[in-house]
Every structure is written in structure tokens, then in C-alpha cells.
Amino acid sequence: MLRKNMWRLKFFIRRYCCPSMKTTPKCSTGLVKRSISTIDARFVKNIGRRWRLVVPTGVGLSLLAIIQWNYLHEHGYSIDVENRPELLNDVMATCYCCLPLRITSRIWGWLTSIDLPVSLRPMLYGFYANIFHANLDEVELDLSAFPNLVEFFVRALKDNARPIAQDSSMISPADGKILYFGPVTSCQVEQVKGVMYDLRQFLGDLNKLMSEQDDYVNSLLRNPDNRLYQLIVYLAPGDYHRFHSPADWNIKFRRHFPGKLLSVNPRILKYMPNLFSLNERVVYIGEWAGGFMAYAAVGATNVGSIRVYCDPELTTNTVHWPETAHWKEANLGCTRIAKGELFGEFRLGSTIVLLFEAPRDFQFCLQLGQTIKVGQALSRLSSDEFDKEQIKRQHLIMNVAQDWRYIWKPKVEQSRNCSNFIGN
């Protein structure tokens, strides 16, 4: 093959490049070598021009990454675990934290807020739904009614698309995948199976008079005979992005923690311990019928913002934070939220962490990794409790019927008297 191509090149040179001169084998070989060398020179020159741009850019980015890594390695993050900072010693985890994820999240939030042409909206939203397996049959409005992707993310559903379970005092606050559920016995709590995060760092000290030796978990309980439980729900990009109240409860105050915007995808959570405590999050503290409750919305990569309807002053994914501020706290004055009531929304998928106090015989009716919807029961009432609820409802119905009987009784007697008077 090589000899055949060489013969064709020699023939081309003899006929078209130098037809007037007799080319000897030595001459033709020399011309071939010169043409090949010319081609090599041009190729090398083009490669050199490209590397003039690639090399400085790569070196600059590498230097920035090294400087950032050295800073984080020396100073760590200002996250207090028993009054001392916790450093990230793992190289891969630290390099991941060096990525400008907050900048990309703000850029993504800006891009998704750009209004789309009306004619293209159904096609684009349908394409998005096919990729992320979103159910468009539940959407209340027509697809062309959503001006941009952000509004489509936080779309409202049809009435009764998420029925609220009446046989459970605690329901699912969001659509998504269950990453973990179960009792909390210490400050080291599982974010996924086998990977922990620090609860005290996640919530902060709720009692300023509490000393370091006190049991943090038991200090959260209103009744020492109860137990603290946890539920973690991951919202994928195709899920319903609004979240609801899991029970009837009163919100006392809110804490907004600064932090990273690392991905909360379960694949990342497996390799990043304490990720929930590193990420930006909004925690609402209050009480329900069972005792203490903490409702946390955790930020993530490409989550433009977190909106809570009862807290209009909340602003997430901001540019600057005070260096001395560990969190921003706001008093909500015991705001009452009903079970199943709309609570807030994510501007793309993220994670809900629910911590609540309940009796020791409380049992989840869930499985790890299962898909759950808003309004589904987290536990079932026991037979005795269910009978008591049924009896209570029957008494309520009987009381209402008795009241209506007394209301209508004078009118019935009056109509009878009138009929007797007319008959006489």
C-alpha cells in the first residue's frame, strides 16, 4: 500500500510539477521529501498556535485550584463541631469543593428565568419531561402558560392530584426518593446508608445555656420518654418541586445557614460525609402534637433559590455573607401551618430533611429507595388509635346532627301548628 501511494505521488510530480525536466528516482524522492516536510511544518505551526492559548489557560486554572486547595487545607470551613473547625483532608472532596458551583448555580438560575417563545414551550417542556420522567398529566395549566423553565419547575398540580392521608398524623412533605429514615440516637446521623453528618452542626445550638457535655439529641425533646426521628427525601429534576407541611405544627423561628452548593445526588452523598452541614440550608424550628420538629430545605448545585411562602424575607444563593455570621435567624411568631398545606418551592431539585419527636412506638411504613408522593402516610395508626379516631368522628357527626335537630325543631313544630290551625 505504501509503495502504491509513493508511485502515485512520483507520477503526479513528474507530470504536473516538473514536466519539462526528466526526473530521476533520486530527484523524485527529493521532491517527495520536501513536500512532506512542508506539510509537517504547517501542521506543527498550527499546533503551536493552539498551544499558545491552551497552555496558559490550563496553567492559570491549575494555579487557582492549587491556591484554593491550600487555603481550604490550612483554614478549612468555619463549621463548628464542638467549637473546633472540621477540615476536609480528602483531596478529591476538597477539589470538588473548590469548583465555582455557586456561580454556575446563579448562571443557571438566570438562564432558566429567560422567557421562551410561546410556540416552542410545549415542545421544550415535553422534551424535558421525557428526559427526566416528569408526569405532565398532573399539570394544572397548559404547557404554553409557563413563560420559562423556572415556572415550569414549580408548576402547580391539579386538584386532588396529591390526596392527604387521613389515617396518619405525619405525611410525606414532598415528592421524591427516600434516602434514609429512622430514629436518631446521637449527633452522628446518616445522610445515606453508612455516611454520616453532624446534627448539632446542621441545626446549630438551640439552647444557648446548653453546655458541651449535655446530650444534644435529648435536649431537643419536649418529652424525655419520646424519641427523635428523621426522614430524608431527595427531589430529582423531574419531580414536583413544591413541598408541603407534613403535619399540623407551629413554626417558632427560622435559621438560614450559609454554605456550599454541592450536589445532593445520592451518588455524591456516598462519597461526601457531612455534606448536609456544608451546604446552604434553611431550617424551620417549631412544635407539633408529638413535640419538637425541624423542617430543613437543603440547597444544591443549580438550585437558583429556595422560596418559602410564609417567610417572604428569605433570600438564598446570595453573593456575600458576613464573615462572622454562622447563620441568619428570623422570628416567625408561631406561624400555624396545617397538614398538607403548601409550604415552599425549589427552583430545581434538592433535598428535604425532616426531624421530629414522636413516641417510641412510632413506626415508619416506608422502604429505603422507594418513590414517595406528597400526602402519603409516613406511618399507620395502630388499631386502638384508629378505633379512637373513628369513635371521635362518629361522636362529632352525632353532635352535628343533634345540633341541626334542635335548630330545625322549632320550625317543624311551627309548621305543624300552622297546618292544624288551617285545618280547624
Residues 216 and 354 in one domain: yes
- According to DSSP, residue 376 is labeled -
Tens-digit pLDDT string for the chain (424 aa): 545 555 555 555 555 454 444 444 444 455 444 554 555 555 555 555 655 665 666 666 666 666 655 555 555 444 443 443 343 445 666 677 777 777 777 787 788 888 999 999 999 999 999 998 899 999 989 999 999 988 898 899 998 899 999 888 899 999 999 999 999 988 888 887 778 889 998 998 876 545 454 588 888 999 999 999 999 999 988 899 999 999 999 999 999 988 888 888 887 777 788 888 888 899 999 999 999 999 999 988 876 588 899 888 887 877 555 544 567 778 887 789 999 999 999 877 689 999 999 999 999 999 999 999 999 999 876 545 544 554 555 555 555 455 545 555 555 455 555 555 455 5
The answer to whether 350 is a known catalytic residue is yes
Q: Kindly report the backbone phi and psi dihedral angles of residue 110, in degrees, each rounded to the nearest multiple of 5, phi listed first.
A: -70, -40
Answer with the one of 112, 129, 154 that is the final residue of a domain: 154
Residues 222 and 319 in one domain: yes
Q: Are 195 and 273 in contact (CB under 8 A)?
A: yes
- According to DSSP, residue 139 is labeled B
C-alpha neighbours within 13 Å on the C-beta side of residue 193: 5
Residue 88 in any domain: the answer is yes
Residues 297 and 336 in one domain: yes
Q: Which of 175, 198, 239, 311 is catalytic?
A: 175
Q: Are 259 and 325 in contact (CB under 8 A)?
A: no
Residues 138 and 277 in one domain: no
Residue 376 in any domain: the answer is yes
How much is the pLDDT for 90?
A: 57
Residues 117 and 210 in one domain: no
Residues 246 and 198 in one domain: yes
The single residue listed with the C-alpha cell 526528466 is 22
- According to DSSP, residue 24 is labeled P
DSSP bridge partners of 242: 345
Residue type present at position 187: C
Residue 47 in any domain: the answer is no
Residues whose CB is less than 8 angstroms from the CB of residue 260 and which lie 6 or more positions away in sequence, other chains included: 97, 101, 102, 278, 279, 280
Residue 74 in any domain: the answer is no
Exposed/middle/buried for residue 67 (C-beta within 10 Å: 0-12, 13-18, 19+): exposed
Q: Which of 168, 244, 263, 379 is catalytic?
A: 244
Q: Which of 126, 156, 120, 165 is nearest to 138 (CA)?
A: 156
Residues 142 and 207 in one domain: no
Q: Are 235 and 241 in contact (CB under 8 A)?
A: yes
The single residue listed with the C-alpha cell 427552583 is 347
Answer with the one of 127, 154, 181 that is the final residue of a domain: 154
Q: Which of 228, 134, 118 is nearest to 176 (CA)?
A: 134
**Rounded CA gap, 18 and 283, in Å?**
84
How much is the pLDDT for 106?
A: 77
Going from the C-alpha of 50 to that of each of 151, 247, 389, the distances in angstroms are: 42, 61, 76
Cell numbers standing for residue 308: 418559602
Residues 219 and 323 in one domain: yes
Answer with the one of 103, 121, 154 that is the final residue of a domain: 154
The single residue listed with the C-alpha cell 443549580 is 302
Q: Are 298 and 276 in contact (CB under 8 A)?
A: yes
Cell numbers standing for residue 276: 448536609
Residues 366 and 245 in one domain: yes
**Rounded CA gap, 52 and 134, in Å?**
46
**Rounded CA gap, 128 and 139, in Å?**
14
The single residue listed with the C-alpha cell 514536466 is 19
The single residue listed with the C-alpha cell 410545549 is 122
Residue 340 in any domain: the answer is yes
Q: Which of 105, 172, 350, 379 is catalytic?
A: 350
Long-range contacts of 100-103 (CB under 8 A, 24+ apart): 101/260, 101/261, 101/262, 101/263, 101/301, 102/260, 102/261, 102/317
Q: Is the pTM higher than 0.85?
A: no
Residues 294 and 333 in one domain: yes
Q: How many domains does the chain have?
A: 2
Residue 222 in any domain: the answer is yes
Residue 61 in any domain: the answer is no
- Domain extent at residue 306: 171-402
Residues 111 and 190 in one domain: no
Per-residue buried b or exposed e for 230-246, using 16+ beta carbons within 10 Å of the residue's own CB = bbbbbbbebbbbbbbbb
The single residue listed with the C-alpha cell 438562564 is 111
The answer to whether 175 is a known catalytic residue is yes
Residue 163 in any domain: the answer is no
The answer to whether 383 is a known catalytic residue is no
Scanning 185-321, the segments in alpha helix (DSSP H) are 199-203, 216-220, 266-269, 275-278
Residues 266 and 363 in one domain: yes
